[in-house]
Amino acid sequence: MKNTIAERILDFLKGYPPFNLIPKITLLEIAKNVEIHYFEKDQIIFSQNDNPHEHFYMVYEGAVRLYRFAEDKKHVLDICDEGDLFGLRPLIMKENYLMGAAANEETILYSIPINIFNDIILNFPKVSQFLIASFATNTRDPFSEKHKGKLFANIEAIKKVENNFIEAQSAKYTRNPITCPPSISVQEAAIIMTKNVINSIVVTKNKIPIGIITDKDMRTKIGTGLFKITDKAASIMTQPVITFPENITVAEAQIARLKHKVSHLCITKDGTNTSELVGILSEHDLNLIQGNNPLLLIKEIKLAKDAETLKYIRSKAAELTKGYIEQEIPIYFVTKVISEINTAITKRAIELSIKEIGRKPPVAYSWFAVGSQGRKEQLLMTDQDNALVFENVEEEQYESVKSYFLNLATKVTEKLNIVGFDYCPANIMASNPKWCSSIDEWKQQFKEWIKDPIPEKILLSIIFFDFELIYGNQELYDEMAKSVLKYIRKNQIFLSFLGKVTLDNPPPLGFFKQFLVEQDGENKDNFDIKSRAIRPLVDAARIFSLYHGLQINNTIARYEKLMEVEPQNKDLFESCSNSFKILLQFRTSQGLTNNDTGRYVDINNLSKADRLKLKSCFNPIKNVQEALKLRFKTSQIS
């Protein structure tokens, strides 16, 4: 039968998230069950600590203010206007209302029964993702502390739905693998392997994996006569083993295998190499699963003969990124895969350049990426930011060594430019004599920056202190990284200066909850998502990490480590990490749509969903900036 009223309600609902993500036929069912409420100005809809209603609400007309009493003072937390949802969180978490809601003006609300909506959360992963995104930020609020990790009472069910993406899928590993103790002989181990028709055996001690013996070990260590078949299994096993927790995803497994160049990963109870073995994941297991594209790309990169080929492969990687973003694969995996690809390209560019020169580097060196590449947060093509360090050499050698590396760096940056990484406009590249120096010169520079933090040196610190080894000597890199942390430990005031610079970038919402947009220039009226939203989060992560002496560059990894180091601020850091992921994903999809860097966002062209999504990321920015202010007493710096 015709139902004009329900159809009109549907027309309204479908204009707003998350209802725009629900097919019409399902949405009509929701519309049919809506109740319409009318509230006069200042009438209370629900009060703080009330039992949850059986409905949540959507503003049809008017506006609703959400408020909370803390220490007998009323704080207005938010104003919801037409199309905004509220009062959903407590229903999902089965908790009392954490805040009160009252009509800010004459208001008509649609109330939607939660029992209908619960099924929708389960059946439409995009809806749950939207809700997770919009809830992400609230975790910081002190009053929601205890709800962390149970945003949804039935999170397991939701996870299951999301898992239809291969890369984000849990990798299927072999459970209860065959093991042997380290004390048995190689021959006995080989007999067990042969009997069970397996190509590898895990060596365990008290169920903890300590090594692995593969067919390859038998071939290279026994077959060649290096060891005897009577030697102990422990003597030929490959160790330590690379371990992961049970929920390892395909993407993680692929990356781990690339990184550690191993054919098998051990799955342990808690993911560390000191806990009980539960399974093994082999190359074969992974190859069974489709979607090993990044792996193939990296293989192709390793075989590339020139920059043009690298460029072609990089364009395929861009397609991959696009696919990942469209499929809403968690940004964490996407950045990892793309960073690995960029790293592989740079490595190959260095190898090709050395070949061209025809002479091996005279001394040990390392090539590192700085800035966003150093943090491994690059998804789209951006500028090159790189630098080079070489071993200390005698004075008379210095000139020739430096000129070799400058020549090498010039060739590498040329190749990267062909691939599509533009030259850095600020000339922060290894081909610049300033950024191609010996280890002592680098340390001296770092020391000066930290001791005398004038503005231009602070800017350099911000770029260079996010540096990651791409190619070359690990010790040189470690030495540099440690020197930075050492100097900072001695000059804590430096962090206050860093904090001050960050805080000059205010939270992105204006007084009337408007986005702060650019005032003039080419991007007038656009929202600069990079400097207004992403950078403050990146900066804060860096400062806190330097403070704790953490040698981590990736922003997400930094926040995750900070959650461990400062358990009292776990909520804050978690909300920052979530916001950062959302913003990065947002910027990337913007960039892919508009074929640019995604830095400037035209707010007026955003859907309501995207606008809400963006806005939800701003609270953590404000909160972490407050924390910086307090911790590093930035107000005392003029």
Interface with other proteins (CB under 8 A): 1-6, 8-9, 31-38, 40, 61, 106, 108, 111
Which one, 40 or 626, has the nearer CB to other proteins?
A: 40
Least separation in angstroms between residue 74's CB and other proteins is 24
Q: What is the DSSP annotation of 378-438?
A: --S-----EEEEE----HHHHHHHHHHHHHHHHHHHHHHHHHT-PPPTT--STTSGGGEEE
Least separation in angstroms between residue 27's CB and other proteins is 13
Both tokens of residue 4? 């004009």
Least separation in angstroms between residue 110's CB and other proteins is 9
Least separation in angstroms between residue 36's CB and other proteins is 4
Which one, 35 or 276, has the nearer CB to other proteins?
A: 35
Helical ranges in 103-213 per DSSP H: 114-123, 125-135, 155-162, 186-195
Task: Give, in degrees to the nearest 5, the angle at Cα 622 between 570 and 158.
Answer: 50
- Please check whether residue 56 is in contact with residue 111, taking contact to mean a CB–CB distance below 8 angstroms: yes
What is the dihedral angle through the alpha carbons of 551, 557, 563, 569, rounded to the nearest 10 degrees? Answer: 90
Least separation in angstroms between residue 18's CB and other proteins is 19
Q: How many CB atoms lie within 10 A of CB 190?
A: 17
Least separation in angstroms between residue 40's CB and other proteins is 6
CA distance 419 to 422: 9
Least separation in angstroms between residue 45's CB and other proteins is 12
Which one, 103 or 572, has the nearer CB to other proteins?
A: 103
Which one, 12 or 423, has the nearer CB to other proteins?
A: 12
CA distance 419 to 593: 21
- Please check whether residue 30 is in contact with residue 127, taking contact to mean a CB–CB distance below 8 angstroms: no
Which one, 2 or 360, has the nearer CB to other proteins?
A: 2
Both tokens of residue 540? 């804060």
Least separation in angstroms between residue 29's CB and other proteins is 10
Which one, 3 or 183, has the nearer CB to other proteins?
A: 3
Which one, 38 or 312, has the nearer CB to other proteins?
A: 38
DSSP helix/strand/coil, 553: coil
Least separation in angstroms between residue 60's CB and other proteins is 9
- Name residue 212's beta-bridge partners: 202, 238
H or E segment at 477? helix 474-490
Which one, 83 or 323, has the nearer CB to other proteins?
A: 83
Locus of tokens 């590898």: 200
Least separation in angstroms between residue 11's CB and other proteins is 9
- Residue 64 has phi, psi (to 5 degrees) of -125, 135
Which one, 83 or 420, has the nearer CB to other proteins?
A: 83
Least separation in angstroms between residue 101's CB and other proteins is 16
H or E segment at 355? helix 331-357
Both tokens of residue 359? 């002479």
Which one, 16 or 405, has the nearer CB to other proteins?
A: 16
Which residues neighbour 526 within 8 Å (Cβ) at sequence distance 6 or greater?
517, 518, 600, 601, 602, 603
Task: Give, in degrees to the nearest 5, the angle at Cα 356 between 354 and 361.
Answer: 25
Whole-Å CA distances, 445 to 170, 323, 437, 451, 493: 45, 42, 10, 10, 18
Least separation in angstroms between residue 601's CB and other proteins is 32
Which one, 7 or 326, has the nearer CB to other proteins?
A: 7
CA distance 254 to 241: 16
Radius of gyration of the chain (CA): 28
Which one, 29 or 95, has the nearer CB to other proteins?
A: 29
Buried b (16+ CB within 10 A) or exposed e, 346-367: bbbbbebbbeeeeeebeeebbb
**What is the 3-state secondary structure of 595-613?**
CCCCCEECHHHCCHHHHHH
Least separation in angstroms between residue 119's CB and other proteins is 16
Least separation in angstroms between residue 8's CB and other proteins is 6
Buried b (16+ CB within 10 A) or exposed e, 92-104: bbebebbbbbbbb
Which one, 39 or 421, has the nearer CB to other proteins?
A: 39
- Name residue 202's beta-bridge partners: 179, 212
Which one, 108 or 516, has the nearer CB to other proteins?
A: 108
